[in-house]
Structure formats: structure tokens, C-alpha cells
Amino acid sequence: MLTTKHEKYPLVAPAFSRILQLKILEHAADTDQLGSFSGEIERKLPPRETAILKAKIGMNELGLTLGLASEGSIGPDPLVPFMKSDIEYLVLVDSENELVITEVYRSFEITAGQLVTRPDEDITQFLQKVDFPNHKLITRSNSGAVKNVIKGIGNLIDLKKAIRLGANESGDGMVLIQSDLRAHCSPTRQNNIRQAAELLAKRVVSCCPHCQLPGWGSVGYEKGLECSLCGSDVPTAIKCEIFGCVKCDYREVGDALKDYADPAQCDYCNP
């Protein structure tokens, strides 16, 4: 059962149907209570824990033992801060076996932006940048309390009305326009959720060699290689992938991905 408010069923269900022959039911719940992209409700838990809580809300309401839910985190990338990324978390919660199987899909393919403007300013360039109206928008007053939040704006007439309303109610006469990053309003985010669903379905169908429970897959990396140019140790260079179980502590080390580190990663060759 997939708990969602923002039409994620067609993004998630096909992978589970094709790979696992698992029938997915959709349960609509007010998941915005756990945090909203527009900022009225702050998300208090990390993305993975928020997704788990979403799944459990639907499971408890319907009395089911298997639940799915997703949560996205969009903003400056944690590894490449000068670029914006979309990190999608998708979880399957199995209360009968006390399992939480998680996959994460990280992508720089996300259309998102914001602009503070006045009703009489030309925003054509901004609208092109955020791929409007394919990607929908949100407006709200720029100054003071968050109010007059209008979501899912998908045409120019409604956008102009929303800009005027937000500006009139704002202390500085300006309005904040931002991408509506809810799944049903963002085609690029939809693509990323589909990719996360593919990864999770493949992980669920893979069982642990030790305990035979589902969810076997990548749990991290072993790091540390010698620089191919100077021979110095490069502790951050990825050597191989580590595979593990979500239930027991069994681990296996994968084949070496590289024999030596790139000099570009070496503090001596590239200080």
C-alpha cells in the first residue's frame, strides 16, 4: 500500500508490478502534516524517517503489514553545494518481519527556482528557466507571515492574479514565486521518483544470502587507495562497494571498482 497525497501511484506502482508482481494499493493521506515544500509546515524529521512515518500512517489506517512511501529533498547538493540536486528516498516498511528497506536516488536533473518580484516586472526569463507551465508554480506574499499561498499554478492568467494578490498582502509590496516541487506538479521530480522505484523494487526482490530476507543491496563503500601518480594514500577514494542485509549484520565486499586513485583526488598531486 502506497501512502501519498501527490499522485505518486503511477510513478511507483509499475516497477513493483513488473519486477515483483506485487499489487500496489493507493491510500490518500494528508502527508503535508509532516512537512511541506512551500514552507507552511516545517519538516521536523530527516527525509528517510519522514517517508517511514508516511508509510506507517497508511498502514495503521488500513490495517496492512506492507507499506510504501517516498520523500524528496531538493536544494544545494550535500557533496557539490554549488549545484542543486533532488535526493529521493523511497521505503518499504514490513511490520510483520520488522524490516525497513530503503533506496535513495540522487539526481541533478531537477527544475527548481524562485524569484522575488513586483506585479509590473517582466519575469519572462524566469518563467523560461523554471519551464513554466510544464512545471507549476507557487506564489505567496514576500514579507511578513506566510499567507496567501497559492499552489499548482499552471497558466499565465492565474499566475498574474496570484502575483497581484501576494504583492497586495505583502508588507514590502513584493511576491515570492517558487517552483511547486510536489510530485504531481514537477515532471523532472516525477522522473527521479520513477528511478527510485526501480531501485527499490530490485532491492526488495534480492534476498540476503545469510538470512534469506528481502532487501539485500549496497550499504556503503570501502575507501582508501594509492594515488596512481605519486603512490600517496588517498583515504577518500572509493575502492569497492559493500553489500549487506537490512535485517542481520551479514556483509560482503564487492569487486574492486578501481586499483588506484585518480591524482585529482590526491592532496599531494592536487593540493
Query: Each residue of 213-262: pLDDT tens digit?
Result: 999 999 999 999 999 999 999 999 999 999 999 999 899 999 999 999 99
Q: Give residue 176's pLDDT.
A: 95
Angle formed at CA 48 by CA 46 and CA 50, multiple of 5 degrees: 65
Supply the pTM of this predicted model.
0.87
The 10s digit of each residue's pLDDT in 112-126 is 999 999 999 999 999
Longest dimension (CA), the chain: 66
Residue 210 falls within a domain, yes or no?
no
- Residues 169, 196 share a domain: no
- Residues 198, 102 share a domain: yes
Is the pLDDT assigned to residue 35 strictly greater than 70?
A: no
d(CA 64, CA 77): 36
- Residues 28, 138 share a domain: no
Report the CATH number at residue 13. Answer: 3.90.950
The 10s digit of each residue's pLDDT in 187-205 is 999 999 999 999 999 999 9
3-state secondary structure of 261: strand
Question: How many distinct structural domains can be found in the chain?
Answer: 3
Residues with Cβ within 8 Å of 142's Cβ and at least 6 positions away in sequence, in order, are 116, 166, 167, 170, 172, 174, 175, 176
- Residues 120, 254 share a domain: no
The arithmetic mean of pLDDT across residues 75-103, rounded, is 94
Going 207 to 208 to 213 to 215, the CA torsion angle's sign is negative
- Residues 77, 11 share a domain: yes
- Residues 141, 92 share a domain: no
Domain that holds residue 171: 114-179
Residues with Cβ within 8 Å of 249's Cβ and at least 6 positions away in sequence, in order, are none
d(CA 60, CA 113): 36
Contact present, 83 and 173 (Cβ < 8 Å)? no
Query: Which residues is 68 bridged to in the sheet?
Result: 2, 92
Residue 129 falls within a domain, yes or no?
yes
Residue 211 falls within a domain, yes or no?
no
The arithmetic mean of pLDDT across residues 160-176, rounded, is 93
Q: Computed over its alpha carbons, how large is the radius of gyration of the chain?
A: 22
- Residues 196, 96 share a domain: yes
β 99-107/84-94 pair status: antiparallel
